[in-house]
Chains A and B, each alone.
Chain A
Amino acid sequence: MWMARPRSFEELLRNHGDRVYQFCSRLCGHREDAEDLAQEVLVLAYQGLAGFRGQASLATWLYRIALHRWQRVSSRPVTLPLADEDLVMARGPDPARQGLDRLSLEAALADLPEPLRLAFLLVKAEELSYREAALVLEVPVGTVQSRVHHATLRLRQALREHEEPQPQKSKETCDAM
């Protein structure tokens, strides 16, 4: 469904502020940088709203702005150390998923190549469809699918090693057709 064009900055902030901030936080890895980037994205978007052609959803457009701004300010993705409050939170059990703690996911994500990491973040964390992610990344849908697949493979492998540092098991097979 197509999002309506916001009529004021307050409306833009109300409807998209959390989402933009969350994405920036995932991109930057640092709260204050995320706040800066999110502010920049929202203001730029509002100032350039007249140029929004409506060919994609507004959220997708905001993601693209965020991605481009982030790529401009950092030539390569830098994974910064976690803030103190994140470390404190990461020590407790994660209610969402037992066996996967945030710290290991953080480290595993940091090891991913940038294209895989971005595709994975957009699809899995931001819950965009492959088509929307392809619009943001400006690559074909098949490429997004492939990148997400390989990112998941690597993350599974990394998380498994993190949990069970034993030697790798033999490949599982089954007879079902």
Chain B
Amino acid sequence: MRCNTVHDLMDAFVDGELGPMTSLRLRHHMASCSACSRLLDEVRGVSEAARQWRRSPAPPEWREWMSALHPQPGPRVVAPQGLVPRRPVLAVAVAAVGVVGLITMCWPGRAPVSPRREQVARSVPGQHSTRAVGLTPRPSAPGSRVEPPSRRAASAPPPVLAGRGRPSGPARVVSPGHKAPTPVAGGASKGHDSASDQPDDLVALNDATWAPESYPQSMDASFISLPRPVVAASDSPEGRSLIARVLRDYRQDLCVNDKRLTRKIDLWMPRGELQDLVGQLQAETGIDFSVRDDLATLKVCVLVRQQPIRDIMNQVVKLLNLEWLREGKEPTYRYTLSQSLEQKMAGMTEVASIDAVATGMKQVMRLAASSKAELTDHIRELQEQAAHPKAGVDLESLEIERRLCESFARGYQRAEVEGFRLLTPRQLADLANYHQVTLEHHPGGVGDTLPPSLVSMWLSSDLGGSGRSMVPPDLTPDQLTLSVSYFLRRTLTNRLELRSLAMATYPPPKDQPKPPVPQRFPGSLLSEGHLMSLSPVSAAGLRWRRTTNLGAYPWLAQPVSCSPDAIQPKSPRLAETARTRLKEGRVEATSFYVELSRASGKPVVAEYGTRVYPRPPFAGEHVALRELLDSACGAMAADWQADGPFLRVRRRAFMMEQALDVPRRVLLRLSSSAERQGYAGLDELADLALVDDSHLIPQALLDGLEWLYAGGDQWWMGASRSAMLRLYARLSPEQRRRAASREGLSTADLTPEQRRWVRDELPDWDPISRWQSQLAPDDPSQLRFRRTKSDWGLTEEDFSKGRFWIRLMLPGFYEWTDQSKTPGQYPPPFDPDIKTTTRAEAEAQMQRLLRSRGRGEGMIRDQKMYVYDPPKGPYPTLVARLNFGGIDLREYGGNTSSNFNRPLKPRTPR
């Protein structure tokens, strides 16, 4: 990125209007460019000065005056454009002058006014300036005789979760919207709830998958969810009683039927965004609807007449895989459209692309197994079909298939196809979920599977960017080891295409000096010892399965006539071009939806892109509705579905776009956190830890390969490798708060699911599992390594006395730690309450603590207590400790360590 570009984007950067990737690139540039960094300071200075300029609350006397006003809500409409019609304003203004003048004349006293005010007052006797509303006059300065009515006291008690009853004694209740727990006073309500004896209520509450036992028959409210309550309570009968009550209230709230949602409304929005939709819903119904910022710009088309509000809400969330979050209390519930990160990622599997890829690849594998003569014949057939296409034939598919046959006939790409056949079901699922999978060390090697011409080209040229000089001159094909990666990509024509990345590795030369790695790609794939080639394997003509039961919708067979309007370019030149070259015309998806709704008489809820399409597939006279939908959706690469009276249409690419949006969304959170506090916090890192690296890499390849590998920071790539961070990511908010506190989180408070996760995942942590060497039975000269996993003999008793701490050490602060072993006590890795900016102060704090405990200097001498230096670089360091008494696991800045005070009992290797 050049300085000029940075200068142009600087304002948008300061105002937070740039995308996350561009922001990070800008930040990366400014870290190395002092001039741009100074410019950033200047722009921030101007922004800050503007923000502070005349930043003062309204004067109290003005507020008092305004509080004394009691304007009546007028029946007239103030339109946003033009605001107020002129005539009413004039009428009101004239009336106001009269009324205000009359009242002012009768006013017993008048406070002094400024000269300017006097001047204005002279122009309109008895009235200030341009005030145009007929209301009681107000004094122009403090100390006037106006006695404003007492303002209504603000009555906003903090919402208390499960507040239908007084919580008991030592328990604390935290509502989802409140950061700090709110102590609740009151005595215990004995015998209040029979469920108070259930010990697992807290566990169940934090555990998550809630669903009401039964919904009212009249309504399917499964598209509405409630924020899960967060409760902290002591382990006492009162605390359990409170938890049980919260649970019961939560279940009851889930089953509430909001009667306002049964009203039928019209909603006609051919094109718009979700924020427009909720705005219209709010205007139509008076119910408080909103949408999360990151979803506000999704494009939807809603064409509905006389349908219940809840059905419209349901269709929208089904269409876009969202949920309505209900907040507030009956009868004034608020509804917010939201989507969790998991829901975005779940979209990947919904596409069912794995079936399509597997089906498409069967055809490809059949071709790859054909002889050269067979392939030549097939190519001739394809050419004839393309020259005389029949109705419904996809010419693009024919072309891709022809190219593929030519490639096979020359001996290329057989290795990739062969490799695909070897993928396991698990690898296929990974390919569908993450759009990438790598087959390491292709069993066929290189000599048998790659065409000799390609290998010789690799060995003799600079293919792959490594450069001729980097390939050892005496390298032979049998020294190469092949690995193949597969990527699923959506093409510009909305096809799902499978691509492969073949990579050959050769052993480093022993007797030659190490060739220099090109500076441009430090640490990249294109480094020493690798050669690669990227080529399409093909997945031409992939089709998705249709799940609609057509028999249940007889109206799909009714004949309809559809004739959407073609786009008329405004520019005369473009109109002429359209008339001469595009005789068939072009249509937008939204025009088709409007015509579809008119022709079928059915409500349509659809998602759309900005692309335009040739008109013929969207038009028809007396064709079955089903055929029309098939034809149009085929052209749009979309799926349609009939659901009750509704028709839903969604592009196949939509869910993939949503899933590909996950890295952007994560980066957005990281960027905003870094902007706010200078670094990414634990919660943001935890979000990142839940996203697999392989899911991030394709997006990185698309958006920022050069930035990522050309010296950029890769810290966000490694979050998912931290077992401690992944454990933190699975904690509830209250558990997270405890884990980051000085006391830490007791592992007794982990849910059964979290315990299972610890058992399953932590054995992968390096010091726990052990590498065992053994001789290969088929070749005794080869020493092979086998990894033995153990669950370390963890018992329920271990979980009852363990403790977990996690926090970030910030740059610039010295901290000290106490690692002394006190029976039954496990100190946190660092005390979050103590940090200093100098080493001397940290050491002095240690000395003071030792003196207060009556301990000697030996603690420091024996390295039981010591001072840590601040983390190097601009990023904080993750510090975590998981202690189970005899087993102590620690993580510090990506390094792990462990201590065992008892013999391990390895279980059966998994």
Contact = CB atoms under 8 A, between A and B. Distances in A.
Interface in B569-620: none
Nearest to B82: A68
Given A40-B130, A130-B15, A9 B71 contact: yes
A172 interface: yes
B298 interface: no
A159 B38 CA distance: 15
A174 B53 contact: no
B52 A50 contact: no
Interface in A73-91: 73, 80
Interface string B104-144: 00000000011011000000000011111101001010000
A96 B50 contact: no
A25 B293 CA distance: 30
B387 interface: no
Contact of A49 (B1, B67, B73, B138): B73
B279 interface: yes
Q: How large is the interface on A (under 10, 10 to 19, 20 to 34, 35 or more residues)?
A: 35 or more
Interface string A17-49: 110011001100011110111111011111111
A17 to B, nearest CB: 6
Contacts of A109: 53
Nearest to A11: B152
B54 A97 contact: no
Interface string B55-81: 111110011011101111111111111
Contact of B117 (A22, A32, A130, A138): A32
Interface residues of B, number: 87
B71 A121 contact: no
A152 B28 CA distance: 23
B86 to A, nearest CB: 10
B58 A17 contact: yes
Interface stretch (B282-290, B660-668, B851-859): B282-290
- Residue of A2, A56, A69, A148 with most chain B CB atoms under a 10 A cut-off: A2
B84 A21 contact: no
A74 to B, nearest CB: 9
A132 to B, nearest CB: 11
Given A36-B128, A174-B33, A156 B133 contact: no
A158 B458 CA distance: 60
- Residue of B50, B275, B334 with most chain A CB atoms under a 10 A cut-off: B50
A156 B207 CA distance: 54
A61 B8 CA distance: 30
Given A25-B56, A68-B83, A176 B3 contact: yes
B290 to A, nearest CB: 4
A54 B289 CA distance: 10
A20 B845 CA distance: 51
B280 interface: yes
A1 B290 contact: yes
B299 to A, nearest CB: 15
A48 B3 CA distance: 49
Contacts of A173: 3, 35
Contact of A47 (B49, B74, B151): B74
A67 B285 CA distance: 29
Given A2-B279, A47-B76, A9 B69 contact: yes
B759 to A, nearest CB: 41
- Residue of A5, A14, A36, A159 with most chain B CB atoms under a 10 A cut-off: A36
B133 A53 contact: no
B276 interface: yes
A152 B63 CA distance: 34
Contacts of A25: 54, 56
B302 interface: no
A93 to B, nearest CB: 12
B124 to A, nearest CB: 11
B28 to A, nearest CB: 9
B136 to A, nearest CB: 12
Contacts of B51: 96, 124-125, 127
A145 interface: yes
A32 B71 CA distance: 21
A47 B53 contact: no
Given A32-B114, A42-B66, A102 B73 contact: no
- The list of the 8 closest CB pairs from A to B, nearest first, reads A48-B78, A51-B77, A176-B33, A47-B74, A21-B58, A124-B50, A96-B52, A172-B35
Interface of A: 1-2, 4-5, 9-10, 13-14, 17-18, 21-22, 25-26, 30-33, 35-40, 42-56, 61, 64-65, 68-69, 73, 80, 94, 96-97, 99-100, 102, 105-106, 109, 120-121, 123-125, 127, 129-130, 138, 145, 148-149, 152, 155-156, 159, 172-174, 176-177
22 contacts: A2-B289, A9-B71, A10-B67, A17-B58, A17-B66, A36-B131, A43-B71, A47-B74, A48-B78, A53-B280, A53-B283, A54-B279, A55-B280, A97-B45, A100-B46, A124-B47, A124-B51, A125-B51, A152-B46, A174-B35, A174-B36, A177-B29
Given A40-B132, A47-B74, 7 more contacts: A4-B288, A30-B116, A32-B114, A43-B69, A50-B73, A51-B77, A100-B49
Interface of B: 1-3, 8, 10-12, 15, 17, 29, 32-36, 38-39, 42-43, 45-59, 62-63, 65-67, 69-84, 113-114, 116-117, 128-133, 135, 138, 140, 151-152, 154, 275-276, 278-280, 282-283, 286, 288-293, 334, 336
